[in-house]
């Protein structure tokens, strides 16, 4: 690049030539300009040589701030959440319990990969649904403990997509 700069100066100013010592003195200035140009053109995040290897995503878990409100015996195998006034009834394979929390808040805390809202009063866990049944004018999610959870028309297409695959 230093030789190119020397040649360009010779073209702009005919008759101007550089001795080897002058070329050596010109090198640091040319290198500095090159570094500044490289810094402006490519930001730091694009200068990474090798992309990091992605780790497989960990299985989603229920958030501790939600699970800690349940009795110890009911902190696993969650099937569904049901709204009851200002409480959420948490249905599990081992029983159910009331938690002082709105259903919307509980559903917002829980990772969407674990389940979905199927009704204004119900949230179901994907692993807790055995089948989605359609009867005339009504759809239900049949849980593994044989509980029938209503699916409203608002959530029906999402429920079919997520729960029937």
Cβ(110)–Cβ(79) under 8 Å?
no
pTM: 0.64
115 has which bridge partners?
Answer: 125
Q: Report the chain's terminal Cα–Cα distance, integer Å.
A: 60
CA 144, chain centre distance (Å): 29
pLDDT, averaged in runs of 10, over the chain (165 residues): 71 74 77 78 60 70 92 92 94 94 94 94 94 89 94 91 82
Query: What's the CA gap between 16 and 5, in Å, rounded?
Result: 12
pLDDT number for residue 52? 67
């Amino acid at each position: 690049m230093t030789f190119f700069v020397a040649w360009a100066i010779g073209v702009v100013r005919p008759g101007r030539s550089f001795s080897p010592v002058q070329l050596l003195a010109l090198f640091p200035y040319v290198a500095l300009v090159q570094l500044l140009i490289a810094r402006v053109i490519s930001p730091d995040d694009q200068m990474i040589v090798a992309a990091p290897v992605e780790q497989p995503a960990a299985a989603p878990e229920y958030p501790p701030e939600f699970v800690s409100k349940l009795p110890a015996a009911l902190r696993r195998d969650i099937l569904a959440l049901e709204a009851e006034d200002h409480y959420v009834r948490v249905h599990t394979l081992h029983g159910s319990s009331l938690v002082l929390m709105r259903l919307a808040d509980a559903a917002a805390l829980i990772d969407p990969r674990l389940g979905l809202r199927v009704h204004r009063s119900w949230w179901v866990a994907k692993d807790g649904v055995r089948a989605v049944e359609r009867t005339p004018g009504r759809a239900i999610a049949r849980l593994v403990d044989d509980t029938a959870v209503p699916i409203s028309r608002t959530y029906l297409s999402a429920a079919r997509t997520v729960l029937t695959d």
